[in-house]
Amino acid sequence: MQVFPLRDKLTGLLTREGFLSKLTGSSCQRGLAVVWFNLDNFKMFNKRFGFERGDSILMEIAGLLTKIFRGELIARFCDDNFVVLTEWTSVEMNIESLQEYLYSSHENIALRLRAGIYFPSECEDIRLSCDRAKLACDSIRKNHSLNSCMFHEGMSRELALQQHILDNLDSAINKKHIRVLYQPIVKIESGKICEIEALARWFDPEKGFISPGEFINTLEQYMEIHKLDIHAFRQVCRDYEARIKKGMPLIPVSINLSRLDFELCDIYSELEDALTLCRIPPELIRIEITESINDEDMTLLNLGIEKFRARGHEVWMDDFGSGYSSLNVLKDYNFDTIKFDMKFLHGFDINKSEKAKYIISSNLQMARLMGMQALAEGVETLEQLEYLRSIGFDKAQGYYFGKPMNLDEIFSLERGIEYTS
């Protein structure tokens, strides 16, 4: 039986196990708050300044927590996550003092320590209290105007959904509640379908339709995303195998891989085994990876990308423009196609939005200079399509051409298919 340490070696604070053991069997008290702290972009900090500097920041935060929350129960749960059990009366003032000190002493690196606050009821399980404080903290990850947030019941519903997703993933795969649908990708010049994208959709008997944003984010957060991605591309292979056996034509299909797949399993071997079993030519399979890939170490992912390209797969960068790291990603990785995120085009007036036009056209020119094809996703109107055609986009995808559908429906669309030799 594995024994976990009760004290954190680096900071001297309690570990998660030490924190929970202190509270096991203790009597419940009123007027307490659980505060979950998370240091923003700490992995990128380590990458930029080195692990030694990162460790010194963690020790500094541990010291500040000990000083400001004097005499309270404080723990480093993992990595850059800290938890404090404290009196609720002074919790907001103490959080503000902590954040003000960090800002004033590290102006040059803009450290942001997010805080989620939860007020547990009497006799409530401390693990649930910590989960709710973390949920509050996570809820402001992308909201830089807030540094702290209190838990509310809407978050409780989110937590329940997350738990349902994690508890039912394997069952949903086995019972085919998670289906693979396909969305057409159109060559703008001809107007015909030239490729398709495979997309996972979860139709739950209890919760109804669970949106991809909900289950994909949850599975990535809890390191279960590889199970979904393996299921999805195996289903693609089975769907294509069925058409091959019937002598039906096929066009290339793109499948989505999370950057975490490269860490959680041998994703290359998993895909190649599925292709071999179903006798699918590798050139029919495109690999899509989101631009958030450079949040982690480059080496493992770069090796995986090059293995896929050497095998005959095109590798695409998905959601270009949706985050902050696009240019670094293009510099560090080799892609065949860039998928431009058109979300910022929704509802815009082409005749009035010169900035949007300039951003799109300049990024398209950059892709061309780097020898990459450009695909616009999220196209919803004829006006958007005409503009993309006018500046020279190669391909487009979105509800204007069709929602995700069954594979057979793709090949029956009136738009027609442009087959490659």
Amino acid at 74: I
**Long-range pairs of 216-222 with CB within 8 A, sequence gap ≥ 24:** 216/258, 218/161, 218/162, 218/165, 218/166, 219/165, 219/166, 219/169, 220/258, 220/260, 221/162, 222/162, 222/166
CA pair distance 155, 278, nearest whole angstrom: 43
| Residue 190 contacts residue 418 (beta carbons within 8 Å) | yes
CA pair distance 322, 319, nearest whole angstrom: 6
- Could you tell me how far CA 277 lies from the centroid of its own chain? 30
pLDDT of residue 381: 87
Residue 137 to residues 155, 246, 400, Cα–Cα distance (Å): 11, 53, 37
pLDDT of residue 221: 80
Residue 256 to residues 31, 132, 140, 187, 289, Cα–Cα distance (Å): 47, 31, 27, 20, 6
- The H or E element containing residue 186 is strand 178-187
CA pair distance 314, 194, nearest whole angstrom: 14
pLDDT of residue 345: 55
pLDDT of residue 198: 98
Question: In order along the chain (421 residues), what is the average pLDDT of each group of 10 residues?
Answer: 78 94 68 92 81 92 93 92 91 88 77 90 85 90 84 83 93 96 94 96 95 92 92 97 94 94 92 96 93 58 90 90 60 85 61 69 82 89 88 91 94 82 51
| Residue 220 contacts residue 166 (beta carbons within 8 Å) | no
Domains contained in the chain, CATH given: 16-151 (3.30.70.270), 161-410 (3.20.20.450)
CA pair distance 408, 248, nearest whole angstrom: 10
Alpha helices in 175-325 (DSSP H): 212-221, 225-245, 261-264, 267-278, 298-311
Q: Is this prediction's pTM over 0.85?
A: no
pLDDT of residue 391: 87
pLDDT of residue 369: 84
**Long-range pairs of 334-337 with CB within 8 A, sequence gap ≥ 24:** 334/305, 334/306, 334/309, 335/372, 336/309, 336/372, 336/373, 337/286, 337/372, 337/373, 337/374, 337/375, 337/395
